[in-house]
Amino acid sequence: MKLSAEDQAALDGARAQTHATRRPTVAALEDRLYLPVPCLDHGFVRVIDYMGDDAAIVQAARVSYGRGTKTVHGDRGLIRYLMRHRHTTPFEMCELKLHVKLPIFVARQWIRHRTANVNEYSARYSVMDTEFYLPRPEDLAVQAQDNRQGRGEVLTEAEAAEVLHLLKRDAVQAFDSYQHLIEGPGLARELARIGLPLSAYTQWYWKVDLHNLLHFLSLRMDSHAQYEIRVFADAIGEVVADWVPLAWEAFCDYRLGGATLSAQALQVVRRRLRGEVVTVEDSGLSAREWRELEELLQG
């Protein structure tokens, strides 16, 4: 990802500023402030501001006046208890504000998470940059046969080349028309933009509390999530790991690496532990639930 001289100067200026504060700060996140983390071909994620840390979660749970009244070991145990038992309110006391540049089709998925504050770049007031997303050849695949919203086998080299040619041709034509409509007849920007492709990049500021951020990551870091949004989620996950390492550890153990069982599935596990032979017919599970449980237990 290459920054313009103007953008680089703005970034350097922001990072040169320091502020005295009584607020709790996190050294690892201070180091990340304003630095863009590249995502896909032209996108990025960067931290603009944050509030709270692991101790703020503990403080909210205990409703205490001060910080550091307990050991780190005690704080870790409490955070893991909160995560394990889904006591989510203390996690809402931490907030993160990000600046994100992303393709419009990724933004349309992302905005489904309605528990954040968003301010997006307006193509009614500003001219869109001539940037659009082109997948890597290895990320081009056919429609999956068993998943209506997933990918199957990767395209051959020749097929991928044809797809990329068509995607690039259509995007270039759309942006050429966009520029002509603005510069030629002087069409209003709010109308000129309507022919732009979903691969065009947009930007927004996205502010969210930690509880809702972790819910976002649990869905978008999952292997079933679309690759393009997963790239952004993985980048944000690295930020969260630096920001609240104890909460991140608990999240990885109980959410990303854990699993939730239905009452019927749990009963199957208990029966097996007692040495019983359990079949799909007498399990109380559907064929799909049975298959998913088998895959979960076999790893």
Q: What angle do CA 223, 255, 232 make, to 5 degrees?
A: 45
CB 177 within 8 A of CB 195: yes
Kind plus residue range of the DSSP H or E element containing 288: helix 287-298
220 is catalytic: yes
* Single-letter amino acid, residue 205: Y
* Distance from C-alpha of 101 to C-alpha of 95, rounded to nearest angstrom: 20
Considering 46, 76, 193, 220, which one is annotated as catalytic?
A: 220
Buried b (16+ CB within 10 A) or exposed e, 246-281: bbbbbbbebbeeeeeeeeebeebeeeeeeeeebeee
* Distance from C-alpha of 224 to C-alpha of 105, rounded to nearest angstrom: 17
CB 254 within 8 A of CB 83: yes
- Tell me which residues are annotated as active site: 220
